[in-house]
Structure 1
Amino acid sequence: MSSNKIGIIILAAGSSSRLGQAKQLLKFKEKTLLEISLHAAHGSMADQMVLVLGANLNQIQQEINLAPYEVVINNDWNSGMASSMQTGLRHLLQQQKFDAVILMISDQPFIEPNTINLLINKYLNSKKGIITSTYQDTFGVPVLFDQKYFNELLELKSKEGAKKIIYKHLDDIEKVDFPKGAVDIDTPEDYAKLINSQ
């Protein structure tokens, strides 16, 4: 274990409006998408994780045993992902000092503990402040931010995403290839494609 404190924020507060149901609860290989993300985070080298929920809260709490995990509720989830990320980050920082945090989402069916460990190891070895997953020629999640970027994360406006900070600091990034990160579930068609790929 490194002496660096690494936290994880799982962003799962959205309403999945384009899907028409809670994407967090879609099943893939007998686990819900949210459980896949929780197990990946929990099984990684990170020191602490927090799950940010908002929409579909009661349904998620009924269907998934969240007792082993730290959960915070973002009542302002409707304003955009920035508020969920900030809710999670503030929660972590109230408890202890972190050297870096990793942002994850709850609908990447192929995320594994090793996906996260690759980011952490790259961070520890590269001395770069942002370690981003890459797929389909773009930057994506999971993504790690060093503590020097916490204030910028906390200043993002509602619909702004962390990509804004990545593009602002291209000289301070290192990349980890995660081709299957391109698979996320936004529409019924996305989910059908995923199920048919099993």
Structure 2
Amino acid sequence: MQEPIYAIILAAGHSSRMGLQKALLKYSEKLTFLEKIIETYSTFGATIILVTNHIVIDELEKNNIKLDNNNTIIVVNTDINQGRMLSIKLGVSKIMKSGICFIQNIDNPFVSTKTLRQLMNNSRKSHYVSPTFKGKGGHPILISNKIIEDLKEFDNLHITLKEFLSSYEKEQIEINDEKILLNINTIDDYHNIIGLT
């Protein structure tokens, strides 16, 4: 029997360089970044844990954007000034059954089920799996149940996830998809990469 698969979507940041909430940016005419990411992970069979802020929640309601509540757990980070590690801890706190978990940033909506499958197929080799393109690390990463449980107990919010993971075994998987390297941080990035105005 396959172990449960989770995906924590990190969408609680200020988006200060963008000036807009990245979760609500249009990926296509029909889908926002958030909807596109949720659609991909839902298709893959993951339970989704969305960690976001009140602004995103309010905008979703205002724009009548309905998420798949049967498959999406929503967690509101009310102290976004504490940084990304708090969002990750809030996310893992909702994982009740032993499993594996993708950590997905909201600023890369290009994740594909093919990439997720490649990462999952290598998940038993080490504590976490990281995709690479031509040797450069990309997103998302896939963490083991050991790391999930260790994150639940960890209470230093002032280090990065990269620093936290430095003591764990890492498996790097070369992915033939340059988009795993992309981050959309500014309006210029958005127009150059997505092309919507």
Q: TM-score, length-normalised on structure 1?
A: 0.84
For each residue in 1:111-145, what CA deviation from the matched residue of structure 2 results, as whole angstroms up to 9, or x when unmatched? 1222222211221xx53221112247443321111
Amino acid at match of 2:172: E
Post-superposition offset of 1:55: 4.8
Alignment of 1:53-64 (within 5 A): 53-56=52-55, 57-63=57-63, 64=65
Post-superposition offset of 1:195: 3.1
Q: Tell me the residue number matched to 2:105.
A: 105
Amino acid at match of 1:65: K
Alignment of 1:167-178 (within 5 A): 167-169=166-168, 171-177=169-175, 178=177
Q: Tell me the residue number matched to 1:84.
A: 87
Q: Tell me the residue number matched to 1:165.
A: 164
Q: Tell me the residue number matched to 1:65.
A: 66
Aligned residue for 1:141, secondary structure, equals coil
Given the superposition, is the C-alpha separation of residues 89 and 61 from structure 1 closer, same or farther in structure 2, using an over 3 Å criterion? farther
Amino acid at match of 2:107: D
Q: Tell me the residue number matched to 2:39.
A: 39
2-structure distance, mates of 1:152, 1:50: 18
1-structure distance, mates of 2:148, 2:73: 20
Bigger share in helix: 1
**Unpaired runs of 5+ in structure 1?**
none
Aligned residues with identical type, % of pairs = 28
Task: Note if contact 2:119-2:130 (Cα within 8 Å) is conserved in structure 1.
Answer: yes
Alignment of 1:1-150 (within 5 A): 2-30=1-29, 31-46=31-46, 48-56=47-55, 57-63=57-63, 64-68=65-69, 69-93=72-96, 97-123=97-123, 126-135=124-133, 137-150=135-148
Aligned residue for 1:184, secondary structure, equals coil
Give the ranges of 4+ consecutive aligned residues of structure 1 lying more than 4 Å apart after TM superposition: none
**Unpaired runs of 5+ in structure 2?**
none
Amino acid at match of 1:141: H
Amino acid at match of 1:12: A
Given the superposition, is the C-alpha separation of residues 18 and 172 from structure 1 closer, same or farther in structure 2, using an over 3 Å criterion? closer
